Amino acid sequence: MKAVCWQGTHNIQVETVPDPKILNPRDAIIKVTSTAICGSDLHLYNGYNPTMKKGDILGHEFMGEVVELGSAVKNVQIGDRVVVPFTISCGSCFFCNRELSSLCDNSNPNAWMVEKVMGHSPSGLFGYSHLTGGYAGGQAEYARVPFADVGLFKIPDGLTDEQVVFLTDIFPTGYMAAENCQIQPGDTVAIWGCGPVGQFAIRSAFLLGADRVIAIDRVPERLQMAKDGGAEILNFEEIEVGDALKEMTGGRGPDAVMDAVGMEAHGMGLEGFYDQAMQKVGMESDRPNVLRQAIVACRKGGTVSVPGVYTGFVDKMPMGAFMNKGLTMKTGQTHVHKYLHTLLNHVQDGKIDPTFVISHRMSLDDAPHGYQIFKDKKDSCIKIVLKP
């Protein structure tokens, strides 16, 4: 089959590889019909994950048709049309029992690698480095899904791929990030990053009752899309974000702040230079400009929600502001399984049409070009769906 393979920093290739096989009784094989490129894939593309290996198959946002089932999968049929959460969960451990599927104990065969750094390991993830299991991803013609009896969600007839493919990650991610803002009536939420995750977070914040959303980025078409979603917008290259937020909220600050950017945040001035330099020499693995800014901007007693991905260490965290202002931080890889049904209902009920975020549709063969324009934000690229 054809698959999108990582071959090094800024080097991905579409290769012919063997078809996946059933390896465990609870596995299924999916014929992929749609798969997307995620901002998380860019961290791998940009070489920020040292546990990538040449030949690794990328992709964690995919859906398709069931073509083969392991002997223990009884609740799905061959031919079913399904979406696949990017977090791999066993469905029966302490964490899965509590609907914390991205914290599953049993799906990361390389848990030891993570335990060394983080103490404990999160769940396995598709196509997301050997740190999270080294599972072959879904930017391919076929993909193997472990624990398929809990990792496949049937899609009702009448919904297109493009309406449901983002249920695999970015819609639940934006939604959980908004839920993590602990929104109360009348609340203002400030969201850094108007990528696909930020876009879904904006719309989810309104679904969850936010009075006002202020969205921050610098890419014009992304800011425009945020505005279309009902947000007020700030361009961080044109305005000092902290001051602006304070002015816009009567001096009090946003009730909740969200970092939907993560470890490759674009920094301004001396601070941005410092973090770039530290990251280059390996003194700091992640650049936390947005996190710092968000903590300082947040109102006293407010909430900091962090869907943006970090993998290692950050420097100069404003812990004083965080502690003395009595803030709460909520974060994590998304517990996709928990949100999938609710959000599928929202799509069916027409409360949201997730296709708004798609800027490009391509064949699998064009993936290398897709990664490049998505990274460089060229050609007004916001979200790419690949059709194998």
Partner 1 sequence: MELQSNSTTDPKNNQPENLSDTERWGSLLTGSALVLTGLSQRSLRGVLLAIAGGGLAYHGAAGQKSLQDTVTEAAGLNQRIRVEKTVTIQNKSPEELYRVWRDFENLPTFMRHLKSVTVLDDRRSHWVANAPLGASVEWDAEIITDQENQLIAWASVAGADVDNSGFVRFQSARADRGTEVKVVIEYSPPGGGLTAAIAKLFGEEPEQQIGDDLSRFKMLMETGEIATTEGQPTGHH
Ligand X SMILES: NC(=O)c1ccc[n+]([C@@H]2O[C@H](COP(=O)([O-])OP(=O)(O)OC[C@H]3O[C@@H](n4cnc5c(N)ncnc54)[C@H](O)[C@@H]3O)[C@@H](O)[C@H]2O)c1
Stretch that binds ligand X, among 45-53, 64-72, 142-150, 213-221 (CB under 6 A): 213-221
No. of H helices and E strands in the chain? 14, 17
Nearer to partner 1, 139 or 188 (CB): 139
Per CB under 5 A, does 104 bind Zn ion?
yes
Per CB under 8 A, does 90 bind partner 1?
yes
Distance, CA of 12 to chain centre:
20
- Please, which of residues 296-355 interact with ligand X by CB under 6 A? 307-309, 333-334
Long-range contacts of 226-235 (CB under 8 A, 24+ apart): 226/191, 226/194, 226/198, 226/199, 226/202, 228/356, 229/199, 229/202, 229/203, 229/356, 230/202, 230/203, 230/206, 231/191, 231/202, 233/194
Per CB under 5 A, does 286 bind Zn ion?
no
| Residue appearing with tokens 């921050």 | 216
Q: Quick one: what does residue 122 bind among Zn ion, partner 1, ligand X, none, with the CB cut-off 5 to 8 Å set by partner type?
A: none
Near partner 1 by CB under 8 A: residue from 39, 59, 138, 146: 146
Dihedral (CA of 200, 205, 208, 209) sign: negative
Residues in Cβ contact with 97 at an 8 Å cutoff, skipping those fewer than 6 apart? none
Q: 155 near 343, Cβ under 8 Å?
A: no
Least CB distance to ligand X at residue 217 (A)? 4
> x/- string (CB under 6 A) for ligand X, residues 257-276?
---xxx--xx----------
Per CB under 6 A, does 124 bind ligand X?
no
Stretch that binds partner 1, among 19-27, 164-172, 266-274, 327-335 (CB under 8 A): 19-27
Near Zn ion by CB under 5 A: residue from 1, 22, 67, 93: 93
Least CB distance to partner 1 at residue 338 (A)? 18
Near ligand X by CB under 6 A: residue from 1, 93, 219, 362: 219
Q: Quick one: what does residue 216 bind among ligand X, partner 1, Zn ion, none, with the CB cut-off 5 to 8 Å set by partner type?
A: ligand X
Residues in Cβ contact with 369 at an 8 Å cutoff, skipping those fewer than 6 apart? 362
Nearest by Cα to 39 from 383, 347, 385:
383
Per CB under 8 A, does 51 bind partner 1?
no
Q: 116 near 127, Cβ under 8 Å?
A: no
Nearest by Cα to 322 from 233, 377, 259, 231:
259
Contact positions toward ligand X, by CB under 6 A?
38-40, 42-43, 169-170, 173, 192-198, 216-219, 222, 236, 260-262, 265-266, 289-290, 307-309, 333-334
